[in-house]
Every structure is written in C-alpha cells, then in structure tokens.
Structure 1
Amino acid sequence: MRVSSDAIRAGLAGLAVALVAPKAEAQVFGGPKPGEIGFLPANGQIAEDMFWFHNWILLPVTIGISLLVLGLIVYIVYRFNETANPVPSRRTHNGLLEFAWTVAPALVLVVIAVPSFRLLAQQLIIPAPDLTVKVTASQWHWNYGYPKSEGGFSFDSLYVEDKDLKPDQPRLITADHEMVVPIGKVIEVDVTSQDVIHSFSVPSFGVKIDAIPGRLNKSWFKAEQIGMFYGQCSNICGIDHAFMPVNVRVVSQSDYEAWLVEAKKQFASSDRVDLAAAPLVNP
C-alpha cells in the first residue's frame, strides 16, 4: 500500500503537536505541580520566614561545609599519598588545627541557632485568634469543627477518587469538603486524633503538627492570599495514609460569611459525630 507524501506530512505534524503541546491538567497554585522541586508558594509570614531560613541560612551552610570537606579530602589524597610521601610523618597533634575545628562548628551552630529560636517562638506563641478550627484525624480522613460563634458545626473531609474528579481538581490531593477560612485573620488549628498518630501539614502556611489521640496540639497561620492550598497527612498512619489530603480554601470575609450560611444548613443537621465537641486532654 502506497502512502502519499501529504499523509506523511500530516502524520508528522500531528506527532509534533502531541509531543510539544502541554497536557491538559488542573492548574494548582497552593499545591505541587509535575516536574517542580522546592517549596510550595508561601502564604503567610511563618512560611516565608521558614523558606528564608532554609534558603539563606541552612542551604549556604550545608553547601559550604560540603565543599570544605570535599576540598580537604582532595587535598589529603593529593598531598599525603604514598608517592608524594614515601616516608610518612609521625606528627600526632596540632594545637591550632584542633582549636579551629572545635570553635568553627560552634560558631556555625550559633549562626543557625539565632534565627532558628526566633522562628520557633513565632510558631509556638499563638496570637489571639480570630477563628479556631478543631481538626480531628481518623483512619483515613479529617474532620473540621467550627466553634459555636461560627455556627457550631463539623464535617468530614474525604479523599476524592480519580473517577470523581472535576477538570480543575488535581488528583491525589483533592478532598470533597475543604476547610474554609477568611483572609488576613489569625487562624488557630487545634489538632487531635481519634485513633492513631497522624500529622496535619499544609506547607504553604508553614503548618505541620502531629495529631495524637488524647492530646490537643495547637498551631496557627494567617493567610495573605486568596486561593486553595493543599497538604496531606505526613505521618505514616496505615494502609490509606496516602489518601488523607488537606484542602484549605482562603476567601474574602464576605465570601466566608456567605459560606458559613450555607455550611450551617448543610452540616448542622448532619448525623455525623460532632468531633469538634468531644472532650480531650489538653496538657
């Protein structure tokens, strides 16, 4: 069978388009994208300070020490090999060198410690919250409980399977119901677990805190950008650990108030257990 040159050109053109054209996929701002490395976009001062601490303190120190050690190894191999030194030295001590390799690491630790302590204090000292959301982990989903001042309701947030995803929803990290918070407000999250140890993590907010049965752990964030932000359980908690996505939607105050009206109608009469009201040990 003879194939015309026009058909060949058309086939090659179609192949080129298929290879070059980007695949249709959900556009994710506060979550991971294929082919990317590094941190997710920061949304809040805590996350920005964490990323700065990593990029401008930890990373230079790590690279500097690695290059120094590599340079010393190369120098030792070149300078003190058997060919260059047929008669080995019998020196066992060098006071100045021993002083240097004791003091230098201590100074490096001080450089790391100062901004590290400031960042830890920023994370652990929670300012007066505008909204407190209770997050209860279970195998394998999250429950978000809002206080009585907001309507006193709670709801489960479950993983959405691939077959149920909408075109604008990324796979593996989409939940059927997201935690909704207003922009520019201090949000305190009180985290606990109903069964085993989980970990509530939203990288864009700089939040990562363990959910432990019988214990209430607290963290906070203040979002500065509107959008959907994604996280996951970051503690291996069982067979479906990989299917515990965290979805937090940051909206304007007016949109948040409108969502509250609908959420109270949707979840207030739910027959779910109100985990937000469950008594817990708060050490």
Structure 2
Amino acid sequence: MKNRASGLIASLLLAVSHPAFADYKLNLQTPVNDLAREVYGLHTFLLVICTVIFVVVFGVMFYSIFKHRKSRGHKAANFHESTTVEIIWTIIPVLILVAMAWPATKVIIAQKDTRGVDMTIKVTGYQWKWGYDYLDEGFAFHSRLKTPQEQYENFGGEKPVRNADYLLEVDNPVVVPVGKRVRVLLTANDVIHSWWVPAFSVKQDAIPGFIRDTWFQADKEGVYRGQCVELCGKDHGFMPIVVHVVSQEKYAAWVVEQKKLAAASQDDPNKVWTQADSVARGQKVYEANCAVCHKPDGKGQGAFPALDGSKVVTGDKAGQIDILLNGKNAMPAWGKTLSDTEIAAVMTYTRNSWGNKTGEVLQPVDIKTARK
C-alpha cells in the first residue's frame, strides 16, 4: 500500500511539473485597454469582498461549533428573534451589495457606450464560422477554423503535429489598427452565437433577426484570441475568433490587399463552366462550408445525412437547389451567403463525386433562375 501511495504521489508531481502547465493561469487574460483593466480590477475587488465574507461567516460558525460543543458541557440556548440583529443583518448586506453594484454598473454602461468610434465592422455568426463586413472599407470575408477536421477529430488514429493554438487558429483573422475604437455590429444567420474576446473585455450575443452592438479598442499590437461562447450546435467548440492588432501603416496595406482579393474573387455570372472546372471549384466550396457536417467523404454523421448516394443529390436538381438556397432543418440557407457560381459549383461537385456520377454540370444561371 505504501509503495502504491508513493507511486501515486510521484505521478501527480510529474503531471504538475509537465511543460504544459508552464503557461497555465488561474486569472483573467491580461487586459489591453482601459475598459478591460477596469473589469480586471472589478473582478479582483469583488473576489476580495466574497473572500472576506466567506472567512468571517465560516470563521464565526466554525469557532462557535468548536467552542460551544456538547462534549465541553455546553447546552443549546433557547431564545427568540431579535429585531436589532435582524435589522443589522439586513442593512450590512444591502450596503455590501451597493458597494458592489455601483462600480459594476459603471463598467456595464461603459461597455455599451459605442459613441465616438473610428470604424465599424459587422459580424455575422454562422454554423460554424464568422462573417466580417468592413462597412467603412467596402469588403467582407468569412473566418473559419484553420485546422483541418481530420486533425482535430484525429481520423485514422495517428496523432497529428499540433501547435498550442490549433483550436484557436483561423484562415482569415480580423485585422484592426492599434488604438482605434472599433464598433461591432452583431447578428446571426441561423442560431444564437456569442462573440467573445476576453482581452478586450468584449462579449456580445449575435441573435438572428436582430442587430446588437458593442465596441473594443486595443492599446497594444498583438494577436488576441476568443471563441463563440454560446452553445450553437455540434461544432460550437470549433469557431474561434482571432484579432490581429497592427500599426496604422500595416492596416492600410492590409486593406489594399483585401480589396484586391475581393475584386479578384468576383465571378462572371454569365460564364459557362466545364465539368472539370466546376468540380474543382465546388470541392473548395464544399470543404470550406459543408464538410464539417457531411464529412469530407460525403458519408454524413449524426443528424447530418450522407451525400454519397443521396436521393436528393442524385435526383431532380430543383430539389437540391431549393434546399441549398432556403435551408432545411439544421441545414442553413446557403443562398444568403454563397453566390450563384459557388452554389452551382458545389452542386456539380456533390453530384459527380464519391459514388455519385450524374454527369450533370450546374451553371450559375440555373441558380439565378431558381432565386426568382
């Protein structure tokens, strides 16, 4: 028994000394603006109050139990209520609550004050990615988890090489200039999401059909990470947020590059696609938007049906177009976020991949006609 206990203690010490615990923190993230520093200070202030109350209340209770225990000859007292005591134990908690509520209310009001902003970004939550519209600059993009699904779900049993932030890396991060006050307009396309970056002290729910706003400002350049903190579905844990705070010069250069990319990505709606080109384009659209639910091999999972051999995919194209444009059950309405070319391409890909061999090629004009 002694050897087993020694072995257990040694195992615990080894686990605690593991390098993974080197950066482990028990407190909030380091704040990078005045509001976040106020929140940090408020958190510490309230924690101190709660700790003092805990120590005083339980200290008196344990002292009374120990000092007046029956084994020492004490007998329980028989007494009735005391108006004075009741008034005291009502007034003191009220004063404590006021002392806590006053600074907390000031911070909450400051968090909702979006006056005097320098730029505005519209953020849209999707299952399971974020859409960002730079309203002042005139371009938009989607941001998804960068780590491939087969890595974070460990398909095949081989452990892939991962960095510490493999669940907090995205393909297209948000970029903002340092020191600028950024207004964020939030909504959602399907279910409720929540945009949260703790270093900025910003957290706001994104609700379908509503526009809600908040703001943030970073006083220090760097990379800041957050997540969706609303339970929004199967892959809720895989829609991170990454914000790069850069100098004004780097931000201006990034904006120019984004505008070039946006212009280059515009498709000719009248182009007639060959099957090979459409399948290649459709595969990219599928992997970026559909594979997370229907799997890269089209076999489906859980509530999400297989596309390989699906009667919807191999049947009348009008039915598949309708589902893609308008959604069905957990399937979002992709007609709101994908272009006619992208929908036509992904349909061509699904209808001619895996075991599906319809030979059909959907054209953007087919989707445009169906939208009417």
TM-score range, shorter chain: 0.7 to 0.9
Matches within 5 A, 1:240-251: 240-251=235-246
Distance in 2, Cα, partners of 1:193 & 1:114: 33
**Paired residue for 2:33?**
44
Q: CA–CA distance in 2 between the matches of 1:274 and 1:179?
A: 21
CA distance in 2, matches of 1:79, 1:172: 54
Opposite residue 234 of structure 1, the aligned amino acid is V
1:94 corresponds to 2:82: yes
- Tell me the residue number matched to 2:64: 76
Mapped partners of 1:166, 1:81: distance in 2? 61
Aligned partners of 1:221, 1:265: CA distance in 2, in Å?
A: 27
In the alignment, is residue 116 of structure 1 matched against residue 107 of structure 2? no
Which one has the bigger helix percentage? 2
In the alignment, what sits opposite 2:94?
106
What residue is the counterpart of 1:222 in the other structure?
217
The answer to whether the 8 Å contact 1:153/1:268 transfers is: no
Corresponding residue for residue 310 of structure 2? none
Q: Aligned partners of 1:201 and 1:131: how far apart in 2?
A: 19
Cα displacement (A) at 1:166: 9.8
1:156-177 CA-to-partner distances (Å, cap 9, x unmatched) read 1000116599987721111111
Which of residues 145, 154, 174 in structure 1 aligns to 2:140?
154
Amino acid at match of 2:59: G
- Which string of whole-angstrom CA distances, capped at 9 and with x for unpartnered residues, describes residues 20-75 of structure 1? 9968xxxxxxxx984222111211111111001001x2111110111112112202
After superposition, the Cα gap between the structure-2 partners of 1:274 and 1:185, relative to the gap in structure 1 and judged at 3 Å, is farther
Measured against aligned partners, the alpha-carbon deviations of 1:63-98 in whole angstroms (never above 9, x if no partner) come to 011111211220231244333455432112223322
Task: Give the TM-score, by structure 2 length.
Answer: 0.61
Q: Is 1:53 paired with 2:42?
A: yes
Match of 2:279 in 1: none
How many residues matched?
245
Q: Secondary structure at the match of 2:215?
A: strand
TM-score (normalised: structure 1): 0.79
Counterpart-to-counterpart distance in 2, 1:128 and 1:153: 22
Query: Does the CA-based 8 Å contact 2:68-2:74 persist in structure 1?
Result: no
Alignment RMSD (CA, Å): 2.6
> Where does 1:266-277 land on structure 2 (aligned, <5 Å)?
266-270=261-265
What is the aligned partner in structure 2 of residue 62 from structure 1? Answer: 50
8 Å Cα contact 1:153/1:274 also seen in 2: no
Deviations 1:209-259 (A, max 9, x none): 001000111010111000110000011111100001000000111100000
**1:98 partner amino acid:** E
CA contact (8 A) 1:145 1:274 kept: no
Percent identity of paired positions between Structure 1 and Structure 2: 35
- Determine if contact 2:145/2:167 at 8 Å carries over to the other structure: yes
SS in 1 for 2:252: helix
Can you give the 5+ residue segments of structure 2 that lack an aligned partner in the other structure?
1-16, 153-159, 267-284, 286-334, 338-372
Q: Note the 1:153-232 alignment, pairs <5 A.
A: 153-161=139-147, 170-232=165-227
Rounded Cα–Cα distance in structure 2 between residues aligned with 1:179 and 1:274: 21
Q: 1:66 aligns to what SS in structure 2?
A: helix
Inter-CA distance 115–268: structure 2 relative to 1 (3 Å threshold): farther
CA contact (8 A) 1:146 1:154 kept: yes
> Equivalent residue of 2:71, what SS?
coil
- More off after superposition, 128-137 vs 158-167: 158-167
Which structure has more strand as a fraction of its residues? Answer: 1
